Chains A and B, each alone.
Chain A
Amino acid sequence: MEFGPYLLLASLEGAVTAAVLALTAVGLSLVFGVMRVVNVAHGEFFMLGAVLAWWIATTVGGHPALGFAVALVVAPLIVGVLAALADMTVLKRVAYDPERTIVATIGLLYIIQQVTLMTYGPEARPVEPPFNHRLAIPWIERVEGSWQLYYPWGLSTTSYKLAVIGAAAVVLLGVWALLARTRIGLVMRATQLDRDMATAFGIPVERVYALVFGLGAALAALGAVLVVPIQQAHYLMGGDPLLLSFIVVIIGGLGSLPGTVAAAILIGLSDGIISVFFSPTLAKIIATLLVALVLVFRPQGLFGTRAA
């Protein structure tokens, strides 16, 4: 058996993980960057996205692609609005104090989880992918002195998985464009850099916060909608994304979006590769170890520039 094709397969699986993780972690990073608060309920917004996707897909019915398309737009929207409301009713009340926000979002975490358990139930439910062609993985080998393309037996991915990677890349580009190229992005960055001066120049900081919190949650929800045809929706599914997002945000450098994306790719790919060749548990152990090392030796993150 050749090693190369398996590495390619593992990398593809890892890239899917990385894509979803990048979306989720960028949401967390955005909230931390602009608002300087840690959102412990971030994983629950992810879960809510997945559960809503199931609910929307089932309600809409018809061709799976139709329900999925509606879910792709509506689920992040609902989650975003819910998060913005939570921001305005809860986080604003605790004045975005870092410690009290952690406690408040822990409370939010349990509320979202329990309400989902009471309404959606404890089952894991799948959402049908909008399309799902098997794609054999090609590899090249040297036959009689010339390179030839062939398809190793039994190795394949799906068109949907590739689409997830593409969709995540497009959304991340969109987030980048929003921040770097639009007025609302400018307002968000000014708020991040100096809250008081932003206010002194007419920026409604509290509204910016609600927007950023909503946007962060919506990104997590979007990641979940993308992953739910591969993973199934379950009310406890928020734990892993939260942990991995934290890992990614710390490794990437708190609040740095390019760093977050780079770290998501690093963690996602290594997670995929280590899971395929060794075990998923080992992958998590190594990721956690990496965080510990980063925290000790490079607290500003691998890609961060300033001290955290």
Chain B
Amino acid sequence: MLELQGIGAGYGQAQVLRDLSLTVDGGEILCLLGRNGAGKTTTMKAIMGLLPLMSGKVLLDGVEVSALPPHRVPRQGLGYIPQGRRLFGELTVAQNLEVGLMARGAGADVREQVLDLFPRLRERLRQRAQTLSGGEQQMLATARALCLSPKALLLDEPTEGLQPSMIDAIRQVILRMRAQGVAVLLVEQRVDAVLSLADRVAFLENGRLARTLPAADLRADHAIVDRYLGV
């Protein structure tokens, strides 16, 4: 479904990602792990076309999205939940969702489905995004991405700074997306949270893929995690 073929990317002259290849199938959760600064966020930006690729390509459902202008990438069905949420802070909850809905011309039915997943947002449609609590903001960031009815979903540390009940709510949504056949690429720091969720885990080290393996293997042998993350 989502396929990265030997991508290289970086900021200006500084290359961060080198020859990175990954595949995430529909209905699969691939978790990307790596130390701070390993290039996880950079990977997501490169997939979204927000950073120009130095090499390689990104395919979604057979379409070479990396050949498209950046604003056409999400329209192919890529939903992005960025690190730090990055909501349109001065816009209301409803307007943030509207931006998501516009991307692929989705209608009121999609909006209703998304709001059913996050009833708390429904109560706050006219509230400005920047005045939401941290957990509500994360819900909104997630809901905004779901408004694209994505084929693939990119989540960059969605549980950062959230309390357990909120983490669980986000988790349920991720599982539901998997059940609907969405390809989920998840970046997470909290390994324990990841292991119960992911199907496969990929370790990123200095912008290169160090290893990819089934999550079950990690659950069996926790030492691998310590080796790559050096906890």
A interface with B by C-beta (< 8 Å):
183, 186-187, 189-190, 193-194, 196-205
User: Are B95 and A197 interface neighbours, CB within 8 A?
Assistant: no
A202 and B82 contact, CB distance less than 8 A: no
Q: Which of B65-113 contact A (CB under 8 A)?
A: 69-75, 80, 82, 86, 88-91, 95, 98-100, 102-104
Among A187, A194, A203, A204, contact of B86 (Cβ-Cβ < 8 Å): A194
**CB-CB under 8 A for A199 and B88, given A186-B95, A186-B99, A205-B71:** no
By beta carbon, the residue of chain A nearest B49 is A199
Most chain B CB within 10 A, of A183, A198, A200, is at A200
Tally of contact residues, B, Cβ under 8 A: 27
B200 at the binding interface (Cβ < 8 Å) = no
B90's closest neighbor in chain A, by CB? A193
Instruction: Give CA–CA (A120, B195) in the complex, Å.
Output: 74
Chain B residues with CB under 8 A of A199: 48-50, 70-71
Question: What residue in chain B is nearest A197 (Cβ atoms)?
Answer: B86
A183–B99 Cα distance when bound, in Å, is 9
Residue contact A193 to B91, C-beta cutoff 8 Å: yes
Which of A186, A187, A198, A201 is the most central at the interface, judged by chain B CB atoms within 10 Å of its CB?
A201
Given A193-B88, A193-B89, A194-B86, A202 contacting B104 (CB threshold 8 A): yes
13 contacts between A and B (CB under 8 A): A186-B102, A187-B99, A190-B88, A190-B95, A190-B99, A196-B45, A197-B86, A199-B50, A199-B70, A200-B73, A200-B74, A201-B74, A203-B102
7 closest cross-chain pairs (CB), A and B = A202-B103, A204-B71, A193-B88, A202-B74, A200-B80, A201-B103, A199-B70
Shortest distance from the beta carbon of A102 to any chain B beta carbon, whole Å? 22
In the complex, the answer to whether A197 meets B71 with C-beta atoms within 8 Å is: no
A203: nearest residue on chain B (CB-CB)?
Answer: B71
Structural contact, B88 and A197, CB atoms closer than 8 A: yes
Answer whether residue B40 sits at the interface, using C-beta atoms and an 8 A cutoff.
Answer: no
For the complex, is B57 an interface residue (Cβ under 8 Å from A)?
Answer: no
- Cβ of B144 within 8 Å of any chain A Cβ, yes or no, is yes
Asked whether, in the complex, the Cβ of A202 is within 8 Å of the Cβ of B88, the reply is no
User: Do the beta carbons of B82 and A189 come within 8 Å of each other?
Assistant: no
Q: Determine if B91 and A186 form an interchain contact, defined as CB atoms under 8 angstroms apart.
A: yes
Q: Please, which residues of chain B bring their CB within 8 A of the CB of A202? A: 71-72, 74-75, 102-104, 148
Residue among B88, B90, B91 having the largest count of chain A Cβ atoms under 10 Å: B88
A190 CA to B102 CA in the complex, in Å?
A: 12
Q: What distance in Å separates the Cβ of A189 from its nearest Cβ neighbour in chain B?
A: 6
Measured CB to CB, the closest approach of chain A to B105, in angstroms, equals 9
Contact call B144/A201, Cβ cutoff below 8 A = yes
Q: Which residues of B contact A205 (CB under 8 A)?
A: 71
A189 and B90 in contact (CB under 8 A), knowing A197-B82, A200-B48, A200-B50? yes
Residues of B within 8 A of A187 (CB): 99, 102
Known: A186-B91, A196-B50. A201 touches B86 (CB 8 A): no
Q: How far is the CA of A199 from the CA of B45 in the complex (A)?
A: 11
CB of A183 within 8 A of CB of B102, answer yes
Given A189-B90, A193-B88, A196-B50, residue A201 in contact with residue B70 (CB < 8 A): no
With both beta carbons as reference points, the residue of chain A lying nearest to B144 in the complex is identified as: A201
- Assuming A197-B86, A199-B49, what are 18 further A-B pairs, CB within 8 angstroms? A183-B98, A186-B91, A187-B99, A190-B99, A194-B86, A196-B45, A198-B99, A199-B48, A200-B48, A200-B74, A200-B82, A201-B100, A201-B148, A202-B104, A202-B148, A203-B71, A203-B102, A203-B103
**Shortest beta-carbon distance from B86 to chain A in Å:** 5
Residues of A within 8 A of B103 (CB): 201-203
Could you tell me the distance in whole angstroms from the C-beta of A119 to the nearest C-beta in chain B? Answer: 37
A190 touches B86 (CB 8 A): no
CB distance from A209 to the nearest CB of B (A): 12
Among A183, A194, A204, point to the contact of B88 (Cβ < 8 A).
A194
Report the bound CA distance from A189 to B98 in whole Å.
12
